Amino acid sequence: METTLRGVGVSHGVAIGEVRHMGTAVLEPPAKQIPAEEAEREQGRARQAVEAVAADLMARGNLAGGEAQAVLEAQALMAQDPELMADVDRRIAVGSTAERGVYDAFAAYRALLAGAGEYLAGRVADLDDVRNRIVARLLGVPMPGVPDSDEPYVLIARDLAPADTALLDPALVLGFVTEEGGPTSHSAILARALGVPAVVALPGAGELAEGTVVAVDGSTGDVFVEPSAEKKAELEAAAAARKAALAASTGPGATSDGHKVPLLANIGGPADVPAAVEAGAEGVGLFRTEFLFLDDSKQAPSEESQVEAYRKVLEAFPEGRVVVRVLDAGADKPLDFLTPAEEPNPALGVRGLRSLLEHPEVLRTQLTALAKAVEGLPVYLEVMAPMVADRTDAKAFADACRAAGLQAKFGAMVEIPSAALRARSILQEVEFLSLGTNDLAQYTFAADRQVGAVSRLQDPWQPALLDLVAASADAARAEGKSCGVCGEAAADPLLACVLTGLGVTSLSMGAKAIPYVRATLAKYTLAQCERAAAAARAVDTAEEARVAAQAVLSGE
């Protein structure tokens, strides 16, 4: 009998297939004592396993490239955390086996991360995956992970670790459903990058029996269990119509009455450029430069290596616009040479621009590298700072750009509510704004983007978030400057229309989403988008906002 479950749709498309479950987690190793003379050997085994897992994660990152590479390299650094390893050594020294020492040390660290008020609670899934991989290697059992199958399937999991998501084969994994996660979790971001339909935060997903046929709608968040022939036909017809519309939509982003809305790509490095070019991106709206710095947490990359990486991206968009975000370190992306060792709440501490201003040599080197990389290229370079709180921050960044001799536009990311509320003040120092809706939602609602339990507060349709977008766009319009969106909100085609109606001047997203957004924008006039935006802001919940906007655009 057909039943319908509702989660959070995070990656467009429809997948119909049989359920396969993620491989089971590693069993808890036995707690047995070892003689003191074996401690050194066991410590060596533990270190070898840790290094092997870190190397495997790095290799997976290099293979996947782009966004996935940055995520997996951060996970590799987690595996090698010196405090964790010191704890492992201590436990082995008093009698634990290597596998038990690893298990218990990670359990203690896990409890810290999962504690009330701890920003890093959402990283527990990543930590568990690292632990499972190390313990599996020590026990000599298969790694947990994606099931082996010769036939395409829909993957079901409690959550998906980045190491698994990054290398999913879209030819076999038709789509995936997770019990946990949120719209801006690592799994969701990587699913969009892969173009795999996905639904997250679906309670009870793990109870679906192996082999059950399900239909996953990654746009609506609906999962149909044992769908009828009629439902399958309906979903397949809708998917075919969507595919035809995508193929027919080409050229620059614009509404049906010609209002231009440049559609740009979010990238993590040179590896993401081909997909952006193929999707028809009009440039880059967010070049996350962290990928280059995550290769070595002990020291910043050289100016020469940075110049080489930046130039590869800049050369790919002649006459186009490339917006580079300077290093955004801290919180979930710690770097030994930049990030404070101890902070009670890293998300509210020294991260982003704050870290760079405390280490001006790192910022100066990056800005100088960008200045050299753009020399002689016919590209419109724009450089922006993350985590700008006020005009003082904006001025400090603009002054640093000028001191480095950078010939580019300087901008500020709006990720903190104070920046949206005082946007006109900030625009006295910089030339553009870029809304990072993921972090803006996180700070507006005090809701960690990695925690499924608060995913409703991470929904970019929340009217309070739309109010802050509108405030920023209004300020930019008043100052005659631009205000784009580079958060995951821009990848939602319907929401892209609402953002356009709010006055946003450009939209940047993962390359796979560009055709969907281009085709949807082309169906409506600017006036329709403005009415949809007003309707979305006039209600009280994210779901009501989505329904209200859809009603306006469908003419109901």
Which residues are annotated as catalytic? 186, 486
- Residue 283 makes CB contacts below 8 A (sequence gap 6+) with 262, 264, 265, 317, 320, 321, 322, 323, 380
Tokens 């859809």 found at: 550
AA letter at 395: K
Query: Cβ distance 516 to 246 under 8 Å?
Result: yes
Radius of gyration of the chain (CA): 24
Tokens encoding 275: 């997909």
Question: What does the angle CA 491 – CA 492 – CA 496 come to, to the nearest 5 degrees?
Answer: 90
Max Cα–Cα distance, the chain, nearest Å: 79
C-alpha angle 461/462/464, rounded to 5°? Answer: 130
Among residues 438, 548, 495, 426, the alpha carbon closest in space to that of 261 is found at: 495
Q: How many helices (H) and strands (E) does the chain have?
A: 22, 16
d(CA 259, CA 343): 46
E strand spans, 417-517: 432-435, 482-485, 506-509
DSSP states of 204-217 as a string?
TGGGSPTT-EEEEE
φ and ψ at residue 409, rounded to 5 degrees: -80, 140
Q: Would you tell me how many other CB atoms lie within 10 Å of the CB of residue 7?
A: 26
| Tokens 């990238």 found at | 267
Query: H-helix or E-strand containing 484?
Result: strand 482-485
Cα 122 to Cα 198: distance, rounded to the nearest angstrom:
19
Write the single-letter amino acid at 469.
Answer: V
Strand runs (DSSP E) across 268-340, as ranges?
A: 283-288, 321-325
Phi-psi map region of 420: left, alpha, beta (phi>0 left; psi -120 to 50 alpha)? alpha
Sign for the pseudo-dihedral over CA of 317, 323, 327, 333: negative
Report CA torsion sign: 33, 39, 45, 48: positive
